[in-house]
Structure 1
Amino acid sequence: MLPGDEDDQLYPISEVARCFGLSVATLRYYDQLGLLPPAGRRGNVRHYGRRELRRLALIQHLHHGGMLSLADTAAALGERGPDGVLRPPGRAVLTGTIQRIEARMADLQAAQRRLAHLLTCPKNDPVRECTHLRAELDRNVTEALGR
């Protein structure tokens, strides 16, 4: 048992949803995916303990921050899919995500450089008249035509 897990208070799904800014349907979906099973049920109402709330905070940290998809979040947590098959190890998911983020960052930096150039271009209408941009567009057209 981890420190903090000894708190045996259980929280109903509606309270957890409200406190974490989620819908009840989202928590049910997380349960359906195997991401966040409740600690127990009282009647038909799911209840969550401290351990589950910490896991929910981790899911939000990984998923809602835009870092990982829900499928990748489940894989990073080492969950089994609905078919019972263990998903790839978390480190592989994290490594792949880092590579995609780095590629996206490179694309964004290139876009930033292009826009910064257009701001400093001496032409009156740099978007339409910039010779540097026009040359780049001509290369793109030639490449697209396969010539």
Structure 2
Amino acid sequence: MTDERYSISQVARCFGVPVSTLRYYDDLGLLPAAERRGNVRYYGHAELCWLALIRCLHHRGLVSLADTAVLVGEDPAADRPSGREVLTSSIETIKGRIADLRNAQRLLEHLLTCPRADPVRECPYLRAELVQAVDHALGRTGVGDAP
């Protein structure tokens, strides 16, 4: 490891985030306190590793920013879930997203192979999916229920 320090603008550029995001993370206590020289914040390798962790957890969509704070925070609060609870909940959320994406993939693959001239407008399978989505949105329990 190196003792080299990087200015907040260098870090922002390297990580592809606005400087304001780094300041926000500092304010939330997500990043360890940055060294300051005048008004400029400087980060070392350890802080950059924390930033990489935050980006891994939050920016990849694995957990919310609030949950990221729970996972990387130093002081667990009594009114917040534990890190393991956050991880368990996040896994369940991801499983749901994966199921949704698999369903979307199946639908798109079906439309790609549908023999109808205009599958988006004419496919009976898609039409049934849309009717089911509308019924669900309207709180109907079965197809053909009266409004």
TM superposition score normalised by structure 2: 0.74
Aligned to 2:90: 97
Q: Is the 8 A contact 2:29 2:73 kept in 1?
A: no
User: How many residues are matched?
Assistant: 140
Match for 1:96: what amino acid?
S
Aligned to 2:111: 118
| 1:1-147 equivalences in 2 (<5 Å) | 4=1, 7-79=2-74, 87-141=80-134, 144=138, 146=140, 147=145
> What RMSD in Å do the two structures reach over aligned CA positions?
2.8
Residues 20/134 of structure 1: CA separation in 2 closer, same or farther (3 Å cut): closer
TM superposition score normalised by structure 1: 0.74
Q: Is the 8 A contact 1:78 1:90 kept in 2?
A: no
CA distance in 2, matches of 1:57, 1:110: 32
What secondary structure does 2:41 align onto?
Answer: strand
CA distance in 2, matches of 1:65, 1:145: 33
Q: Is the 8 A contact 2:111 2:123 kept in 1?
A: yes
Give deviations 1:56-78, integer Å, cap 9, x for gaps.
11112222222222222111213
User: Between the two proteins, what is the percent identity of the paired residues?
Assistant: 60
Q: Is the 8 A contact 2:30 2:73 kept in 1?
A: no
Unaligned runs of 5+ in 2: none
Q: Is the 8 A contact 1:34 1:80 kept in 2?
A: no
Unaligned runs of 5+ in 1: none
